[in-house]
Structure 1
């Protein structure tokens, strides 16, 4: 196993998948709380944190499967945030027998068409490269970062962003491989009991993504007050812990 991972606690396994622009430090406060009752696995996705640089074809769903196989986890609860939620959703569709329950924190969704505003925000950051300070400045001005920017966890969020951009600018060319058909076209096939968490101040696109999950009877929804899209695990740790553990113990 070439991905960097950490394990804390004992009991039913929970795998946490971090968002884009972050690494396993995103779970620095939530993981210890969960580890009081469960075995918690956090890991750095390929190209993030201490994990290897992506090369060639990269399949994040199969990376998750390889990690679970390596750790001999037949089944686990999967928790994913943002692109981590996208990975978790695709994993649950392709390998439903490996998922006990699914927790999606304001996830992305393969096959979803992003709004012009979201695309422009990403392009603004890309066009600022290789000026990392400018890239971070642009990111922090977006609606997605307003809560964490004004919180005591601002410095940690910036540290993760800086580390991510430093690594990203050195990545060789690679291709992201996702299961076909995309999740948006087969969402009705999702089997596990699912908790969908979204911030009250989240981006409009993510409320549209939530609408796709509202069609499913096994999906429970929770909206966190005064939360935005990014770094919810840092700014709303206790609230997340309460809603997640209540869901897991149902």
Structure 2
């Protein structure tokens, strides 16, 4: 297994997944969970301390390889942002390996994001290779309005800056996702699912949450005063929501 991972605690396995960040994304949540569970946090391929991809990346199969390597037959998956997209795809393809699915402001393959979002991403990409400008533009988005006013702004900026530096190391590769896209298969999601979203997150992310609520049996919970980074700004409340759901 060439992916970087950390294991803390003991008991039922809980796997923490993220997208454009690294294991530091769970700095305030993992210690709470590790009091009662075996917590696995890892860096996806090309992020954090994991190696850069040499070919097209299949995050779902990478997760399967990690679980097999750690001899974890079944786990609770907790995925944030793109990590939530990966977790959803995994639960659809390998439902027998997932006991509970917890999604924090997840992405969703096949979802049509707004013109405003697409234009914002285009502006950020056009700022390359000026990473400081890219980070500044990204943090100016409304979905980060809470964390940028919190003591965790520097940590968020450090993770984004490091991730973007890593991305410049990548060769020309693509992300490989299962087909058909998850948006067409949400009705097949049989895993017990909790979706958590900050009330101050973007309209697009709220639209994704609404789609889950309408097309799956997911329980959707909104956290007041939180944005896209509820894991950084509201870790204790997040911990209580997750453990309460797992004990139901």
Distance change (3 Å), C-alpha of 1:116 and 1:216: closer
Shift of residue 215 of structure 1? 2.9
1:175-230 C-alpha deviation (Å, 9 max, x unpaired): 1100000000010000111001011011111121112211356321110001112x
CA distance in 2, matches of 1:224, 1:65: 31
CA distance in 1, matches of 2:61, 2:226: 31
CA distance in 2, matches of 1:234, 1:51: 22
CA RMSD of aligned residues (A): 1.0
CA distance in 1, matches of 2:216, 2:112: 24
CA distance in 1, matches of 2:19, 2:57: 16
Task: Note if contact 1:58-1:174 (Cα within 8 Å) is conserved in structure 2.
Answer: yes
Corresponding residue for 1:198?
A: 197
1:117-136 C-alpha deviation (Å, 9 max, x unpaired): 11111111110011111111
Task: Note if contact 1:187-1:212 (Cα within 8 Å) is conserved in structure 2.
Answer: no
Corresponding residue for 1:236?
A: 234
Task: Note if contact 2:186-2:216 (Cα within 8 Å) is conserved in structure 1.
Answer: no
TM-score of the superposed pair, with normalisation by structure 1: 0.97
2:246 pairs with 1:248: yes
- In structure 1, list runs of 5 or more residues that go unmatched: none
Structure 1 consecutive aligned stretches of length 4 or more whose deviation exceeds 3 Å = none
- In structure 2, list runs of 5 or more residues that go unmatched: none
Corresponding residue for 1:132?
A: 131
CA distance in 2, matches of 1:212, 1:139: 25
Task: Note if contact 1:24-1:44 (Cα within 8 Å) is conserved in structure 2.
Answer: yes
2:128 pairs with 1:112: no
Shift of residue 98 of structure 1? 0.2
TM-score of the superposed pair, with normalisation by structure 2: 0.98
2:173 pairs with 1:174: yes
Partner of 1:65, secondary structure, is helix
Q: How many residue pairs get matched?
A: 248
Shift of residue 55 of structure 1? 2.3
